[in-house]
Structure 1
Amino acid sequence: MFTPGAPVPDSAPWSAAVGQGGGVLRSVNIGALALEAGGELPSVTVAYECWGTLNGDGSNAVLIQHALTGSTHVSRGDSEEDGWWEGLVGPGEVIDTNRYFVVAANMLGGCYGTTGPSSIAADGAPYGSRFPFVTIRDSVHAEARLADALRIGSWHAVIGGSMGGARALEWAVTFPERVQRCAVVAACAASTAEQIAFAQAQVLAIRQDPNFAGGDYYDGAAPTLGLGLARRIAHITYRSEAEMGARFGRAVQPGEDPLGDGRLRPSTGGSVAGRYRVESYLDHQAHKLVTRFDANSYVAITEALMSHDVARGRGTLREALAPTGCVEFLVAAVNSDRLYFPAQSEELAAALPGDVKVRRIDSAIGHDGFLTEVATVGELLRESFFAD
């Protein structure tokens, strides 16, 4: 049965809650949102996708949280594009949409429909540099308003990997009465100094792009060089040294010669003409991101993740997690992850109420194993939350 939180807006998408085709982007305005660091956003839209049908008492709802540059598109559904966790959500899959109503919301500050820096403010111009600092906790409060709009009082499960895992954990601590089960995959209780350091390098790469214009670039050239460099830095942390070594080694990109004839690359002013294959790979990853993501959103969401600390203002980690005693947890780590080390998952599990054991995802890929090893993640979820 629906338990009201914040008032439900008049525009609540009730038709979506009772069942429509999945994999289609929808949105709801949740009104003004007060922010943890101060101030407020006067009008917030939350974008989401959903699959399946909410049952009469609202007990079959599942929330899936995306990673840093992810989107709401977890599964194909009625669209033509595969989702980023394709094979996990759908009819007959581990999270069976014949049984469960699945929701995926875009992070606050994002660029896939939820209010962010590229959104139009009340004066008719994009927020740009005026977009306020937001936190993981702010996004969870916005998502709770979405749950209200969908008449979801309690989630059967909240599931996320990487930044999505941070959001899932924050849900369990902020609203433990609304979360029955929580899966935190390849994530930790608080961003570490090293994670913040990697993130700062990415943010500065964007801000120091001449086209960034302090964040007000929407009427001119976008800071694609800075965003591309940020993506390269990030992607190095997403893959393991062993995986890159086995996949690329010192191989040269076909048709190119890293030694060249001594000519400098015009774009760098320092490297010789040809590329190694690993360089080409990073260039490809950068190009893909700059064609689909907003640089300001990358900054806003990265800074939100830098601020992630589920114990902030709540005492010790164990004290902060104490209210989650009624929540069933799955904590999983990728054994080759060098961004969110398995030891950080162990620290989180040890501080949770009860006896929570860290489950391992065996992958040589590194952090991105939580995305690539769909079968393993699915089996862990099936055993923990979705057994017949």
Structure 2
Amino acid sequence: MLRTSLSFLCRRSLAPRVLRAGLRTSARLNSSGGNTPMDFPCIDKLESRQRDLLAGPEPTYEKIVTGYQTYQHGSPFICDHGGQLPSMRIAYETWGHLNADRSNAILIHTGLSGSSHARSHAQNASPGWWEKFIGPGLAIDTDKFFVICTNVIGGCYGSTGPSSLDEEGVRYATAFPLLTVNDMVRAQFHLLDHLRIQRLHASVGASMGGMQSLCAAALHSERVGRVVSISACARSHPYSIALRFAQRQALMADPNFNRGRYYDGVQPHVGMKLARAIATVTYRSGPEWELRFGRRRQKPDQPPALCPDFLIETYLDHQSERFCLQYDANSLLYVSKAMDMFDISHSVTQRLERQRSQLQSASCNVCLDASEQPVSGELPREETGDEIIADLVRGVEKAMQPTLVLGVQSDILFPVRQQKEIADILRKAGNTRVTYYELDAMYGHDTFLIDVVNVGAAIKGHLENSD
């Protein structure tokens, strides 16, 4: 009884003060005592953008990057997982000059959404995505080397991809065949044949580019002199696959995605924006964001909002909005899926090679549907940890080139343990010229784009070493 009375008195004495405080701090109590709806300026902005897209033409991705050259591969290009491209175009850019015996060429492999524009030049003065790494006296010295960078097939910056026109003048969309990293590399070596470059001085890449670099060394070992693999992997691991899956699901959930056939309608702008926001979280690191943004809010004198409020939220919103109309949504699906499937293991590469060879020898000249693909044997059984490593070692047993493997401790997308795995399998395969560096940088996966001093010095030393 006493406890009840005290509780009642406390409620009576506190109620007026609580009410007064609530009236002072809340702007959402109306005269009837109800709550007014939350404002959503971020949704208003998205809806406004959608209306603008309805009123105007779709972006032409090929015009975003200019000044590149193209190589047209006239014969059919058979893909590892079935399907073919009747012809294939590769966009590429070059810097420096070939020497007399054409032995000083370096091939730069791009990441997921990279274009061939790695460095500015006379035909395109805009800074490239690796502007501070390529040039006279820089990490990749154009006074010494002839540098080539391509847009991978499946991309949208000049190379054949889902947004390209097929033989009937219709965009491929999701009728485009599934690709592998191996397919991308084989296409690049067709370009090298066209340029009459028999052997590269080096194959260099970061992220998906590092996958390509390792693939080039393993599958075309006689044509690659040196290897640089930064923040990559020998096989995609479940965590990075899961992150890219979330991006694709966000994109495909956009009502405008239309199963990939959106070219005559509205681009899936919202889905692309969400996918890019997820990706950006994986590209940088918590320590960097703690330093740059902390818990600071954009407008600390105003009530919290569900739209971008903290500075880190406004950063993600800005970055994703800037990207979402500059890259084709279908290219994002196809190229990211190729990353997921990457595995340099001997059993995987041999299975793909057998399957592609069977497709090439097929008597028909049309693209085979999945149901028509030849059976390449039983599915592999589940392997033990030791068997997986042994399979990876066999996959790189021809990659005996001097190799630089570079990892970043703050990278959550391609953690340093995956870089160690690359170095370990190369050494177990018998490669005695593997250099492994691990950087203590705060920039996460994007360190290869930012840390000019450390990343650049490692690359320069490796490329110019006389060994």
The answer to whether the 8 A contact 1:44-1:115 is kept is: yes
Distance in 2 between residues matched to 1:255 and 1:110, nearest whole Å: 42
The 8 Å contact of residues 258 and 276 in structure 1, kept in 2 or not, is answered as: no
8 A Cα contact 2:308 2:317, kept in partner:
no
| Higher mean C-alpha deviation, range 145-154 or range 67-76 | 67-76
Q: 1:57 to 1:131 in 2, by over 3 A?
A: same
Cα deviations by residue, 1:261-308 (Å, 9 ceiling, x for unpaired)? xxxxxxxxxx3x551111111111111111311111111100011111
Q: Which residue number in structure 1 is paired with residue 317 of structure 2?
A: 283
Task: After TM superposition, give the deviation of residue 193 of structure 1 in Å.
Answer: 0.5
Partner of 2:100: 56
Q: CA deviation at 1:250?
A: 1.3
Q: How much identity, in percent, do the aligned residues show? A: 40
Aligned equivalents of 2:238 and 2:139: distance in 1?
A: 36
Which letter maps to 1:71? Answer: S
Distance 1:274 1:201, change over 3 A: closer
Separation of aligned partners in 2, 1:256 and 1:231: 30
Per-residue CA deviations over 1:16-51 (Å, capped at 9, x if unaligned) read xxxxxxx93111111321111112111100011111
Residue of structure 2 equivalent to 1:385: 463
Counterpart mapping for 1:73-84 below 5 A:
73-78=117-122, 79-84=124-129
Tell me the equivalent position of 1:12.
none
* Aligned counterpart for 2:391 among listed residues 316, 329, 345: 316
Given that 1:140 and 1:171 are in contact with CA atoms closer than 8 Å, whether structure 2 keeps it comes out as: yes
**1:294 aligned residue:** 328
Could you say if the C-alpha distance between residues 292 and 57 of structure 1 is closer, same or farther in structure 2, counting changes exceeding 3 Å? same
For 1:77 and 1:90, the matched residues in 2 are separated by 10
- Please state how far the C-alpha of 1:255 moved relative to its aligned partner: 7.5
C-alpha change, 1:366 and 1:334, in structure 2 (3 Å) is same
**Contact preservation (8 Å) 1:258, 1:275:** no
Question: What secondary structure, in the 3-state scheme, does the structure 1 residue paired with 2:256 have?
Answer: helix
Decide whether the 8 Å contact of 1:136 with 1:166 is kept in 2: yes
Specify the alignment match of 2:89 in structure 1: 45
- The 1:174/1:250 distance shift into structure 2, 3 A limit, reads same
1 CA distance for matches of 2:337 and 2:283?
A: 18
Q: Does 1:336 align with 2:410?
A: yes
Q: Is 1:172 aligned to residue 217 of structure 2?
A: yes
AA matched with 1:333: G
Partner of 2:172: 127
State the partner residue of 2:421. 347
The 8 Å contact of residues 109 and 115 in structure 1, kept in 2 or not, is answered as yes
Instruction: Tell me how many residue pairs correspond in the alignment.
Output: 354
- Distance in 1 of aligned mates of 2:462 and 2:86: 40
Gaps of 5+ in 2: 1-65, 351-389
Structure 1 residues without counterparts, runs of 5 or longer: 1-22, 261-270
Which residue number in structure 2 is paired with residue 8 of structure 1?
none
**Conserved 8 A contact 1:154-1:178:** yes
Q: Within 1, Cα distance between the matches of 2:315 and 2:170?
A: 36
Q: TM-score, normalised by structure 2?
A: 0.73
Instruction: Choose the corresponding residue for 2:71, options 21, 24, 28.
Output: 28
2:11 alignment partner in structure 1: none
Counterpart Cα distance in 1 of 2:222 and 2:465: 22
Q: CA RMSD in A?
A: 1.6
Q: Is 1:94–1:386's contact at 8 Å kept on the other side of the alignment? A: no
Specify the code of the residue in structure 2 equivalent to 1:354: N
Residue 370 of structure 1: aligned partner: 448
1:68 and 2:112 matched: yes
For 2:206, the aligned partner's letter is G
Of Structure 1 and Structure 2, the greater helix share is in: 2
1:102 aligns to what SS in structure 2? strand
Contact 2:399 2:431 in 1 (8 A): no
Amino acid at match of 1:381: I
